[in-house]
Amino acid sequence: MRLSGMIALVTGAAGGIGRAVALRFSGEGAFIIVSDIDVSGCSETLELLERSGGCGLSLKADVMHEDEIRLLYKQIMDRFGKLDIVVNIAGGDCEPAAEVEDIDCGRMSANLDLNLKSCILSCREAARVMKPKGFGRIVNMSSIVYRGSPNQFSYSVAKGGIYTLTRSLAMSLGRHGITVNALAPALVEVPAFVKALGHERWEMLRNDCAQRYPLGRVATPDDVARCALFLASDDAAFITGQIIEISGGARL
C-alpha cells in the first residue's frame, strides 16, 4: 500500500472529487480526515470509507474563514501529532457564466476567498506542521481554466493564483522534504454540477465536451483522484511545483 501509516487531510470531502480522493487514499492505507462545511456529506464519505475497510475522522470546517482553518489543523495535531498529506479540494465557482461587464464585486470576492485564499491559508498551516517533520505532500486543486476562460473571470483568476502559489510553495518548501503540486481538471462529472445544471443542460454540455476532447469523454472524479494519489505517493517523490492537466487532451 502506497500510503500505509500516513495521515491525510482532504478538504471538500463531501463533494464528488473530494470523496473519490478520500476513498482512493484510504484504499492505499492512509488514515483520512475528511473535512467540509457539509457535515452530512462528510458523514456519507466516512461511511463509504469505513465500509470499504478504511479508517477516518470527519471534522467540519468552512474554509472561507481563517479561524476555522486554524482550528481544523489544531484538532488534527492535538489528536495525531502529525499530518503527512494535504489535498485542498474545497472550492467552486461563485460567479459562473458572467459577462465581463456584469462582474459582481461580492461574488468575485467569494470566488477568491473560497478558491484561492482558503488554499493559501491551508497551505500555510500545512507548512507549519510539516516543516518540523521534514516531510509532506501537498496537492492543490486548480482547473483547466487557469489558462483563461471567456466567462469565468474571477474563478479563472483564483485557479491561476493556485498555479503560481503551488510553484512558489514548491520553491520554498522543497528543502524541507515537502512537495507541492496541483491538479487542473477539465470538465468533471460530479453530482453537484449535474444537479445545478439540470439533466438536459448537463447532457448537452457533456456531449459537446466529449466531442471536442481527444479522448472522447469528460473526466470522472476517480480520474482526478488517481492523479492526486500519484502526487501524494512516493511514485512522485521527485516531482514538485507542477500543475497536471487531467483534461482528456482538451486545449492541446
Q: Which residue in this structure is represented by grid cell 491561476?
A: 160
Query: Is the Cβ–Cβ distance between 89 and 16 less than 8 Å?
Result: no
Query: Is the Cβ–Cβ distance between 1 and 26 less than 8 Å?
Result: no
Nearest to 117 by CA among 167, 172, 63: 63
Query: Is the Cβ–Cβ distance between 219 and 246 less than 8 Å?
Result: yes
C-alpha to C-alpha distances, 24 to 1, 50, 93, 133, 175, nearest whole angstrom: 11, 12, 25, 25, 28
Residues 6+ apart with CB under 8 A from 107: 94, 95, 98, 154
Query: Which residues are catalytic, by number?
Result: 155
Distance CA(37)–CA(14), nearest Å, equals 8
Nearest to 159 by CA among 124, 226, 127, 111: 111
Query: Is the Cβ–Cβ distance between 209 and 188 less than 8 Å?
Result: no
Query: Is the Cβ–Cβ distance between 138 and 86 less than 8 Å?
Result: yes
